[in-house]
Structure 1
């Protein structure tokens, strides 16, 4: 993997930051500083590593120290989170989120109240 590849990976993640999170800035590090709090901790950590590696790749002596497998892993993690998803997938994820955890308890309680009201003839 060369310095150009690392720079391209950082540029692609920076583009996705701008497209998905509406975060401005010139470099990935700047976009991460402005909008990093909107990301989960593990994705933020991977994006920070990728930004650090992109800065190191500009210096030929530091290019040797870059762990290319780790950089590729960080790039993949950022892409998995930032890739655009369709409207149907977004709705399905929201429905799944509502039906699991605390949302499920609230949903089931509301459904139970409506069923009792209908059974008693109030609805």
Structure 2
């Protein structure tokens, strides 16, 4: 199993779908942070750990390849469903809604001050 090649493919997918920066899978997962579900962060953490273990001949025998395979499948399945444009649109709409609410509060305060001062 070519773990590094699959990890690079997964890192590119995280970058494309979640706009996560960094070099390598570990940095991209850390940068994505809470944009990934908790179970997926745990599985991706196991993949990163398996990549470290693979560098040592003794530790590489302890890798649970079935879990690594399940982790890759779960990550790819989740990331393929993420629509980057929909996520960006949601971020923009949340920002606009927050600013519109703040403007309403300021307008209400200005109206209250005007009414209070009798102008």
Aligned-residue RMSD, C-alpha: 2.0
Q: Which residue of structure 2 lines up, in the alignment, with residue 69 of structure 1?
A: 66
Seen in structure 2, the aligned counterparts of structure 1 residues 29 and 85 have a Cα distance that, compared at 3 Å, is: closer
**CA-CA distance at 1:59 after TM superposition:** 2.1
Q: Which has the larger radius of gyration?
A: 2
Structure 1 ranges of 4+ moved more than 3 A: none
Q: Which residue of structure 2 lines up, in the alignment, with residue 13 of structure 1?
A: 10
**Larger fraction in helix:** 2
- Structure 2 unaligned residues grouped into runs of 5+: 87-119
For residues 33 and 82 of structure 2, the distance between their equivalents in structure 1, rounded to whole angstroms, comes to 20
TM-score by length of 1: 0.62
Within the candidate set 29, 34, 45, 1:32 is matched to 29
Q: Which residue of structure 2 lines up, in the alignment, with residue 47 of structure 1?
A: 44
Q: Does structure 2 retain, via aligned residues, the 8 Å contact 1:23–1:35?
A: yes
For residues 10 and 44 of structure 1, the distance between their equivalents in structure 2, rounded to whole angstroms, comes to 14
Q: Does structure 2 retain, via aligned residues, the 8 Å contact 1:20–1:84?
A: no
- Structure 1 unaligned residues grouped into runs of 5+: 91-123
**CA-CA distance at 1:15 after TM superposition:** 0.9
TM-score by length of 2: 0.64
